[in-house]
């Protein structure tokens, strides 16, 4: 479950940071401190969708009702 949350956060972070960087409209090498502050703020903003999913009762991936990754489904097959 924690791996799924981390992957979801990293996806949100990438999308949000890229969007913030492209919305500024200039090369990252030309960013001012105000521009960098906008991109850095996207780091905590990217966490919001992950929190929303974690608090959702209907999200079976890693919501409050999600199953733990610690359980294993064992399939026993008979060989003849």
Whether 72 is covered by a domain: the verdict is no
Assign 73 a pLDDT band (cuts: 50, 70, 90).
very low
Instruction: Report the domain count for the chain.
Output: 1
Whether 69 is covered by a domain: the verdict is no
Model pTM? 0.60
**Alpha-carbon torsion 63, 65, 67, 70, what sign?**
positive
- Distance (Å, whole) CA 68 – CA 62: 9
Residue 10 has pLDDT above 50, yes or no: yes
Q: What is the pLDDT of residue 77?
A: 55
- Distance (Å, whole) CA 43 – CA 45: 6
Instruction: Report residue 5 CA to chain centroid gap.
Output: 6
Q: For residue 44, what are the domain limits? A: 2-55
């Amino acid at each position: 479950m924690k791996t799924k949350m981390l992957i979801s956060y990293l996806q949100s972070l990438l999308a949000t940071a890229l969007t913030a960087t492209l919305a500024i409209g200039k090369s990252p090498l030309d960013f001012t401190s105000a521009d960098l502050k906008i991109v850095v703020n996207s780091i905590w903003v990217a966490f919001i969708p992950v929190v929303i999913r974690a608090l959702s009762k209907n999200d079976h991936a890693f919501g409050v009702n999600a199953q733990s990754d610690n359980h294993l489904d064992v399939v026993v097959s008979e060989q003849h």
